[in-house]
Amino acid sequence: MKSLILTLMAFACLSASCKKNKVDAPATVPLIENGTYSIINVSTQDALTPVMLTAGQNVFLQNQVTTDLLQRWYIQFDGLYYTIRSQQENTLFFQPFPAGEHTSIISSNNGDSSPKFLLEKIVENGAVYFKIKSVLLAGQALYQFTNGLYEEARFKAFENTDLFKWQIIKY
């Protein structure tokens, strides 16, 4: 019994020492600064555009129009992940629909559970593009899907085509 107590005390001291000397990892450097952006598909030059500014609406891709406030997104970095929300309505967040074909929608923020994304920089011939990957969908990437009637923004495993590459242009 005495040896068990000594072993537990040694382990507790070692654990406390480790915690005291622990060095935190440096903060991740953001790839883009917090601000208002337009998110443009490289393949078609279409911009992410919600149908309307109400929760549950689909986000499609339409020709980029610099005066269209629906095409402006506020992107914010929290030290690890990015959130993408409507620049006009700061409680509406861009996110993948969690079931089915993972189409894009806008949804209301539920406290700290706003949808999170990873951005990965792609440099090709001097141009900078981004992969936009959903944390909710285990890293599935945003891409442009044509269904014959309109252009959709969906998520699936990354393929190295321009349909999966995005320009993020600051206003």
Residue with tokens 């990354």: 158
This prediction's pTM: 0.80
pLDDT in tens, 37-83: 999 999 999 999 998 889 999 999 998 777 788 999 999 999 999 99
- Is 72 domain-assigned? yes
- Is 116 domain-assigned? yes
Distance (Å, whole) CA 118 – CA 122 = 13
pLDDT in tens, 81-140: 999 999 988 889 999 988 888 999 999 876 567 899 999 999 999 999 999 999 999 999
Give me the domain span that covers residue 135: 35-170
Q: Using alpha carbons, select from 142, 159, 156 the residue that is nearest to residue 82.
A: 142
Distances (CA, A) of 104 to 93, 97, 98: 10, 6, 9
- Is 99 domain-assigned? yes
- Is 26 domain-assigned? no
- Is 118 domain-assigned? yes
- Is 143 domain-assigned? yes
- Is 147 domain-assigned? yes
- Is 17 domain-assigned? no
Higher pLDDT pick, 21 / 29:
29
Residue 112: predicted pLDDT = 60
- Which tokens hold the place of 41? 């598909």
The CATH number assigned to the domain holding 71 equals: 2.80.10.50
Number of domains in the chain: 1
Residue 65: predicted pLDDT = 79
Local structure of 26: helix, strand or coil = coil
Local structure of 124: helix, strand or coil = strand
- Number of neighbouring beta carbons within 10 Å of residue 101: 12
- Which tokens hold the place of 132? 């936009």
